[in-house]
Amino acid sequence: MTEERAQARECSDATVTRGSGIGERAEAHGRYEVECVGPDGTLKWRDTIENVVCTVGKNLALDTFLAGSGYTVTGPFMGLISATSWSAVSASDTMASHAGWLEAGAANAPTYSGTRKTAVWSAAASGSKALSTALSFSITSSATVKGAFIVFGPGAVNTIQDAGGTLWSAGTFGTGDKAVVNGDVLNVNYSAAL
């Protein structure tokens, strides 16, 4: 007689699935793209500026995005940063207090014709907003330019060296200072992304 035996076993298995959640983070980033065209129309150089989006600019943007009512933007206006007396750009800079740099124009070389340039924007897409066309600075003196900045909001004006308004961004060239001469034109594009 054959005896069959089967061993009884019991198994249990458990799986715990936790919600992974969706994480999102918004950081403000901006980029200037600058080209210098000589008096004869030839491209002399091209460079980029990865800017510092200043704390006061972020605060004004958040206040207007999330709590604004009937808000109309003033500016934005773009200016150039002189290499004169330059030491640093900081996230804590404001238009009234930016000890590490001076605005190019009237008193600080290089000078350019007209006023700060008024930014005109294309519609935002894919979390980014860019100028609809480059802003042109017609240089009227030979000197060194360090970078660029954007000011906007209440009190902002297009007058060179005016301390009103809120500093959105400021930055310097990625490959170092750039020499310009009388007759050069700097064409500056800017885009910001969240």
Phi/psi for 87 (5° steps) reads -135, -40
Q: What pLDDT sits at residue 58?
A: 84
Q: Of 50, 68, 69, give the one whose Cα is nearest residue 59.
A: 68
User: Is beta strand 117-118 parallel, antiparallel or unpaired with respect to 77-82?
Assistant: antiparallel
Question: Are 137 and 80 contacting, i.e. CB atoms less than 8 angstroms apart?
Answer: yes
Q: In the chain, pLDDT over 70 holds for what percent of residues?
A: 86
CA distance 7 to 28: 66
Residue 62 in contact with residue 70, Cβ under 8 Å?
A: no
**Residue-wise pLDDT tens digits, 38-81:** 999 999 999 999 988 888 888 888 888 777 767 778 899 999 99
The confidence score (pLDDT) of residue 11 equals: 58
**pLDDT tens, position by position, 71-82:** 778 899 999 999
Best-predicted range by mean pLDDT among 13-22, 71-80, 162-171?
Answer: 162-171
Distance, CA of 76 to chain centre? 12
Cβ-contact 135, 117 below 8 angstroms: yes
* 53-83 as b/e: b if 16+ CB within 10 A: bbebbbebbeeeeeeeeeeeebbbbbbbbbb
Q: What is the mean pLDDT of the chain?
A: 88
